[in-house]
Each structure stands twice: as structure tokens, then as C-alpha cells.
Amino acid sequence: MTMTSADAVRSREPLPLTAVTIDDRFWAPRRELIRTRTLRHQESQMRRPGQQFDALTLTWRPGDPDEPHIFWESDVAKWIEAAGHCLATTDDPELDQAVDEAIELLAGAQQDDGYLNVYFTVVKPGQRFTDLRDAHELYCAGHLIEAGVAHFEATGKTRLLDIVRRYADLIDTVFSTDGPCAGGYDGHQEIELALVKLYRVTGERRYLDLSRRLIEWRGQQPYYFELELQRRGTPGYFGTRLPRRAEELRRFREYNQSHQPVADQSEVVGHSVRAMYMYSAMTDLADEYGDERLLQAVQRLWTDLTTKKLYVTGGMGSDPSIEGFGPAYDLPDAHGYAETCASIGLVQWAQRLSNLTGQGHYVDTLERALYNGVLSGASADGTRYFYGNPLASGGAVARQEWFQCACCPPNLARLISELGRYIYAQGPGEAVVNLYVAGTGRFTLAGGEVTLRQDTRYPQDGRLAVTVTPADGEAEFTVSIRIPGWSRRPAVTVNGEPVHRPALRDGYLTLHRRWRAGDLIEIDLDMEVRRTWAHPAVASAAGKVALERGPIVFCLEGVDHDCPVHTLTLGRDTRIHAVPDERTGVVTLHADATTDADADGLLYSDQPPGRSSAALTAVPYFSWANRGPSDMTVWIRDGGDG
């Protein structure tokens, strides 16, 4: 894979968290819940005896209970990162102190040469970087690096940033072209995107070049993981848990996307979270190096994902055995996977692609994942979590307080606490609105500072008001506001005057003029209930329809019905009513439907079941499983036109 040496200039960049305020009725309470309850709950889970924080004291000895796990540092790191995002905009001395204590634990666990991984310090000393395929060393290092960058940007403190730089410097040496792990790469991708962040905050080119090497070496032959296995002579951390790995070499090369050079890949395969993190890094590197081959690769992969392997909720990964992708159109509703972390990774990747290309359709998918596949991952009180997010349930699925593999809870916390970086972007002479969230964004453009103020009740309705305030009273620049693909007839006014045939470019309403303080843009996105049908090859959705409104996907829950939800049928000409719902902050949908009647209790009958009238109630998918055990379905039987 050839990369150019010249840096590319990113077409758009997100605003820093400190330039964004959020006072949105939908998002502000959820973000406050993350800071005041979710992060405290997660900290208490990780402070339990024998868990993540304890492990960092390095007091565990062979034979002791609670052997430190291979990826516990990543849980702590994501928690610190989420807390850092909160501290960027909120004064919280208690949270600040808790983070400082966690950082000191990390400092105490760091070795003299910069190495920082508890498992290979106390459980398998002397075996560093010998099980890259399975043991998550570089994955943990990546999350530590992201935490260091986020904490520095939020607080200005360099303690954690210094720690992770020492570790990154060691990794740079070990994975240099003449280092002991030359040609190697991560079994669980993550460090690659983290190194780009570290480069951008420090200006140290070697971190960017290290990220490039790890991506460039991936998938080259001879396959590094197979050479590593021969050198090590042991099966690796997951070797005995994946017993058919040797017989299914191709499948398990695909599992971590090392089956071919990344620039040649065109089909999303393998573990879905690994894929999302790697594609994010590839997009970053395509950006930084102006690498057209990498850009073409991620665009091919995006097309494959979104046209063949993405759930309507923005979830992905239909095969629980690998937490990853199955064949095209293999999207089972009740028995799929759709890991919360995968939707989070999709949000991160989509933002990068949108900023690099200026295309709004990437944010359409980002928004789908955010409001559905991500938000469903936590309970309404912020203390229970889904790892996987099925699209149907018989009633036995419930969120859990914690997991032995606790990657999703702090990952969700860090994304929601970082929401401000996804709302806006800025380019040369351009202020961009990507997400509709009440609050303000402060832009630094060539003509001076500009503030955009959003007022909206989105996603409850589709009306948006944007007030433009140049710091100097007036300035000439472009305001670009994304118009979602589902909005068929958006109405736009500027200072009360209708904009006839508004100019849409790459999915954005683009308004270039000399703006004066107080200028007002108003948009009505014409938010209607939409019926959505899947490709005929999606077996679980055959003969069924899903309901959407704006970015929200809806589902049926048994708690709202007197019959099993899978028996409900919705006619295509049936009117659907949307009623504001303060419980979810969106709306509830109501419609007349029919349900199958019980044929006198017979298991089988020579007569079709009768039909009776029923009232159908649909609620936002993200809100399901908050009112006790209940059956659920996203896909509703389609009654056709009759």
C-alpha cells in the first residue's frame, strides 16, 4: 500500500467541546445522567474488590482469585475519557478527584520503560507483545491514549498524557521497521485511531507514522499472527475458546480483518467492533496522507455495510459466535448481535467520512445509529446495559447491571458525553450543523468568530430555528445545515422570507451571504411517519414492515398490548397517529391493527386463524425494556393494501 508523504487538509473539523453548549430537552438530561449517575455507577463497579481498580495496584499473585483480565485497562480508560468530556464543560470537583485517583493508579502500574498492562506485568510477566492476535495489549494501549488526549484537552493537565506518551514511545520502538515486532499489528484494532489523535494533539509525527505502519502491515503475507503462533508455541489467550481456528483459517483471518491488505478490502467481515475502529483509522490516515486508495477502500466498505449488512436500527453484527458480520442480508432479529460498541464505532466512522468528504448521507447513518443502536444500550436510569441489541424478544431479554466483559457501558458513556463534537463542524469559511440539538456552537472562521444558536424540540418534531451571530456584528460566510434523506419537502425561511427551491449540496442546505447578528434560519423537515420494508433476502423481515419517524425507529412492546406483538398486523392504508410522549421525549405511535385469534387452543388446525381488531402502540426502540419483562418486535406484520 502506497501512501503519499504530503498531509491532506481536512475539509471539515468538529468543534472542540468547549465551543459547544447543549441545553436540549432530549439530550441535556441524558448527558447530565451520564455525569451524575452513570459514571458514578461504573466507578463503583470497577472499584469492587478484585476488579479493575484493584488490579492496577499490581498486588495480585498467582493463585489469588480474580485474575486480572486482559482488557481491564480499556474499561478504566474509557471511563476516564467519558469523565474528561464531562469535565470539559462542567465544574465537578468530585468527578475530577476520582479521575485523578484513577490516573495515579495507572501511573503506579506503569513500568520503568513505559509499559502499562497489568495482565502481562503480574499474570504473564516476560510475555509482552507475544500474543498480539488475542491478548488486547495494543487495544488497551489505544484506549489509554484516547483517555490521555481527552483528559488533557478537557483539563489542561498533562499527567495522563505524559503516561500514555511514554507508553506510545515504547510501542513505537517495538513496532519500528527494525524492532522486535516489525510487521506486527493489533488483534483488536483501536490503537491506530488513537495514535492519530495523539499526533494531532502533540504534533509528534512519529505517532502518525506508527499508526500508518500498523495499518500498512495488516494483511500482508506471510500472515503475522500465524508466524507469531509458531514462535510462541502456545495457542494464545483465545486459542482454546476458538477450537476450529486452525481448520477455518480464512474465517479467522477475516475475524480481525487481517485476511488481506486493508486498501484491497471491499467487504465488511469479521468482528464488527474491530472493523469499525479500523475503518475509522483508515479514514483518518486517508485524510492525513491524502491517500486515495485508502479513501476508496473505506467508501467501498461503507457501501457494502449500508446496503447489505446494517440493521434498520443502525446495529451491526448478526453472528454471535464472532460478535460480527454474517453473509449479505443475514440480519436475524431475535438471534442477531448488534453490539452497542459496534454502533458507537459506526458513529465515529461516519463522522470521519462526513468531515473528510463533506457528504451528509454519512451523518444520516450516524444519526440512525446514535438514536437507536447506541441509546438502546442503556436503561432510562443510566445504570443497566445491553451488550447486544436484538430487534425482537420473547420477553426474556433484559439489560444487565454489569458484564465480565464490560466494554459497552463506559463506551456508551464516553460517546454521549462527547456529543458536542458531533453536532457541528467547520470548514474554510463554513459553519456546519450536522445534528439538531438545542444549544450553541462557536465557530472560528476566517472572518472572525461566529455563534450559531439552535432552538428545536427534535426528535419530537422536525422544526429547527438557527440564529446567526457574527462576533463583529456582520460577516460573509456559508452556513450549511444537513437535510436528512428522509425529509422530502423541507421548508426553509431566512428572516421570515421563504427560500424557494433551497440549494442542497451533498445533503446540506447551503446558505452563503453576508450575515448580520440576529439573522434567523427556520426549517421544517416535514417529519412524517414512514413505513420501511427490508430487502426480500432479509428473512426475519419478510412480509413485515418497520415504522420510522425522523431518526427514530419504533418497536412494539407487549406491555402495551393484550396479545403477543408478533401476531399484530398493520394495514398499509391505516392511518398512524403520533402523540408526544414525555416518558421517552419523542412520540408514541397509535394505529388500528388486527391480531390472530386463538384457534380453540389447537397447536395445528385445518382452518386459518381468525382475525380480531386490536390497538397498536409503537414506542421508540431505544426505550424498550424499561417497563419490565415484555415481548418486543421492530418488524411488524404487513397487512398489504387491503
Phi, psi for residue 569 in degrees, rounded to 5: -125, 135
Q: Which three cell numbers stand for residue 55?
A: 488490579
Contact 102, 79 (CB under 8 A): yes
Q: Which helix (H) or strand (E) covers residue 110, if one does?
A: none
Which of the residues 81, 323, 418, 430 is marked catalytic?
323
- Active-site annotation holds for 104: no
Contact 609, 599 (CB under 8 A): yes
DSSP one-letter code for 391: S
Q: Which three cell numbers stand for residue 368?
A: 440512525
- Active-site annotation holds for 497: no
Q: Which three cell numbers stand for residue 248?
A: 477455518
Which of the residues 181, 407, 408, 555 is marked catalytic?
407
| Cβ atoms < 10 Å from Cβ of 444 | 14
DSSP one-letter code for 390: -
DSSP one-letter code for 43: H
Q: Which three cell numbers stand for residue 607?
A: 382452518
Count how many Cα atoms sit within 13 Å of the Cα of residue 31 in the half-sphere of its side chain.
21
Q: Burial code of 330-353, b = ≥16 C-beta within 10 A, e = fewer?
A: bbbbeebbbbbbbbbbbbbbbbbb
Coil, helix or strand at residue 166: helix
Q: Which three cell numbers stand for residue 557?
A: 412492546
475 Cβ contact partners less than 8 Å away, ≥ 6 residues apart: 445, 447, 448, 450, 514, 515
Q: In angstroms, how far is CA 327 from the centroid of its own chain?
A: 22
357 Cβ contact partners less than 8 Å away, ≥ 6 residues apart: 11, 506
Q: Which helix (H) or strand (E) covers residue 581, if one does?
A: strand 577-581
Coil, helix or strand at residue 504: strand
| DSSP string for residues in 426-469 | EETTEEEE-S--SEEEEEEETTEEEEEEEEE-TTSS-EEEEEEE
Q: How far apart are CA 46 and CA 55, in angstroms?
A: 10
Catalytically active residues are 323, 407
